[in-house]
Each structure stands twice: as C-alpha cells, then as structure tokens.
Amino acid sequence: MEIVHTSVLLNECLSYLSPENENYGDSPLMIDSTLGEGGHSEAFLTKYKNLRIIGIDADPVIQARAKERLAPFGERMSFYSGWFDDFYAEFNNEADRPSLILFDLGISLFHYEKSGRGFSFRMDEPLDMRLSPNADVSAADLVQSLNENDLADMIYAYGEERYSRRIASAIVEARRSARIENAKDLADIIYRAVPAQYRHGAIHPATKTFQALRIAVNKELDRLPRVLDSAFNVLKVGGKLGVITFHSLEDRIVKVHFRNLAKECICPPEQAVCTCGGSRRADLLTRKPVDPTPEEIKRNSPSRSARLRVVRKVRESI
C-alpha cells in the first residue's frame, strides 16, 4: 500500500508521550484520536511493545487504509469509526482508561491528494470537504446558501482572511450565473477577486478560504473545546495528553485550555472564595509549543506550521 501522508513531529511525540510511568501498568492503552493513515500509531506500536492503541477516525476510507497498514500488530490495535468528540463522550470503561492520548489536528495529505473531495484548490474535483460521509452539509452547500455577510464572516473568522469581504462578494456574484460545485472553479473566483499583489504571495490566495470552508463543514473548532474536556476526563491520573495543531485558531484554544488545567485555582475572578479545590489538574510538559526541526521541515514541508503541546494529568476534575 502506498502511504501518502508523512506524520509530523513523530520523534517528539514518541518522546513526550512515552508510556514510562509506573501508573501505566503492564499493557497501557493509548488513544490515537486522529488516526489518519496510521503513521503515529505504527511508530508507537513499533517502539513500545506492550502498548495497545484505539484509533479514531471519522473517515471510513482513510481508516480502511490504516487498518491494512496496522494489521501486523493484531489485537494490540483496535478501531473506532466516528468523530472523536462522540467517542470520548460515550467512553465508559473505567477499568481500562487510557494512559496516553494524542490528537493530530492536521488534515492528511491523502485528503488533499487522493480523496477526490475538493480539499485542495489545485484539484478539479467536487467541492465537498466532508471528512465523514454522515455530515449533512458540503462546502458547495455553504458556498451556495450563505448570504454574503455570513460568508464573509465565516471566511474571516475561520480563515483569518483579510480580503474576506471581496471574496464573499465575488462568490455571490459568480453563483448568480451557476452553482459553484468545483474546487478549482472556486479557487479561480477567489484568485480574480483579490488584489494583484496578493495573488503572488507566499501562499495561494484561496488557501485561507478553503481552510475556512473545511473548518465550517466539519465543525472543527466547535468540536475542539468539547473534546479537550472529555478526553482529559477520560485520561488516567498520571497520563499524558498531547495535541498537534496547524493554525493559530486551534492552537489558541489548546493553549488556553492547557493553561487553565495547570492553574492552581480556576474559579471566576469575581468570586471571593475559592470553591474549585485550589489545586491544579495538570502539569504543563511543554511550557512552549514544540516545533518541528529544520531537518523535518526540509524533508516534509507541510510540517512547518505544526506545534505540539502536552500536559500530564495530576488529579481528576471536580
């Protein structure tokens, strides 16, 4: 099987999320919350011979590829097909809680290059962007149905695109003639909408709009705060939770969440008396995010924006 995606910060994940604490037991459980093609899971199972992993993915197509890749590990590897926030919300196995949890919030190169769902503005493909076949709304649906102000607000909020209003106006004008259903067609509309000097910057002018649509279609930023809470609650005391982010919006959510877990008191500032117990719930194992090395960036350019943050759980939440 051809492996399309190269897992980022692999050595750093193996180091920071090593199952070496005595509380982990003889056969510790790890949850790979964003399995993809299974690169991180393969590396962990290879290095840590007693480790078991549950791999989660909302996309059954890419999960099938991971199952083929990870078949040699037998019963040490199991799978959950669905969204990670649903998995953690439904988790109720107190006797077998995970010691390690990893989230890699990046989109697999497989989706850009091989999925045929319009994740890439370079591809002549249907404008879909749904990771799960159960999702109701496609990127084409949003492009067609949102009014101009809501479309501009979405592109600005989720893509941090400074020309969001010009792009939204161009999209609305173009869809008056025909429904926009093709990824490359949308990219061409965006390219023509932005100023000439913006077309030749470090990234393609459609990059941020496509990011915004993907986030909106898959509700990525809605799921993230919820799943960070539920995953931390599922994690064993002494266990470690690591998150790899790829853009400032999700990294900010993770940074603030981890900082709050590490606070001695989490009561509201206006509250005169502490009622939260006055004890931190986690230790920050990465005071600053861990970035890829120059060597990794040279080998795998998509890794350049990756950032890893890790906490260790020191007590249960109240």
Residue 318, domain member (yes or no): no
* 4 domain residue, yes or no: no
pLDDT at 318: 67
- DSSP letters along 221-272, please? HHHHHHHHHHHHHHSPTT-EEEEEE-SHHHHHHHHHHHHHHT-S--S-TT-S
Return the pLDDT at 46. Answer: 96
- Check which CATH number belongs to the domain holding 126 and give it: 1.10.150.170
Q: Is residue 3 part of a domain?
A: no
Which tokens hold the place of 290? 């861990």
- Are residues 177 and 242 located together in one domain of the fold? no
- Indicate whether 29 and 81 sit together in one domain: yes
Grade residue 22 by pLDDT with cuts at 50, 70 and 90: very low
**pLDDT of 195 higher than 90:** yes
Q: Are 242 and 158 within one domain?
A: no
120 class by beta-carbon count within 10 Å (0-12 exposed, 13-18 middle, 19+ buried): buried
Number of Cβ atoms within 10 Å of the Cβ of 220 = 17
Asked if 178 and 271 sit in the same domain, the reply is no
Residue 277 pLDDT greater than 80, yes or no: no
Do 228 and 105 belong to one domain? yes
Q: Do the domain assignments include residue 244?
A: yes
Tens digits of residue pLDDT in 69-111: 999 999 999 999 999 999 999 999 988 999 999 999 999 999 9
Q: What is the per-residue pLDDT for 24?
A: 52
The DSSP 8-state label assigned to residue 49 in this structure reads T
Residues 209 and 237 in one domain: no
- Written as six digits, the tokens of 278 are 């006055």
- Number of residues that make up the chain: 318
Helix 60-70 and helix 39-47, axial crossing angle in degrees, nearest 10 = 30
User: For the ranges 70-74, 171-175, 196-200, which has the lowest average pLDDT?
Assistant: 196-200
Write down the pLDDT at residue 278.
66
pLDDT digits (tens, 9 = 90+) for 107-156: 999 999 999 999 999 999 999 999 998 899 999 999 999 999 999 999 99
> What does each C-alpha distance from 286 to 2, 99, 189, 273, 308 come to in angstroms?
34, 18, 42, 30, 8
Examine the domain organization and report whether 239 and 98 are in the same domain: yes
pLDDT given at position 134: 87
The pLDDT confidence band at residue 273, using thresholds 50, 70 and 90, is confident
The residue among 198, 218, 238 that closes a domain is 218
* Residue 1 falls inside a structural domain: no
Domain tally for the chain?
2
Tell whether 200 is covered by a domain: yes
Residue 144's φ and ψ, nearest 5 degrees, are -85, -30
Structure tokens at 141: 């649906």
The model's confidence at residue 21, banded by pLDDT at 50, 70 and 90, is: low
| Edge-to-edge strand ranges of the sheet holding 29-32 | 77-81, 52-57, 29-32, 100-104, 240-245, 307-313, 282-284
pLDDT tens, 283-296? 999 999 999 999 99
DSSP annotation of 290: B
Same domain, residue pair 239 and 281 = yes
Pairing label, strands 29-32, 100-104: parallel
Residue 214, CB half-sphere, CA atoms under 13 Å: how many? Answer: 21
Does 259 share its domain with 208?
A: no
Please check the confidence at residue 317 and state whether its pLDDT lies above 80: no
Q: Which domain holds residue 164?
A: 116-218
What's the pLDDT score for residue 249?
95
Q: Which of 160, 188, 218 is the last residue in one of the domains?
A: 218
- 229 within domain boundaries: yes
Shared domain check, 226 and 105: yes
Domain boundary among 218, 238, 254: 218
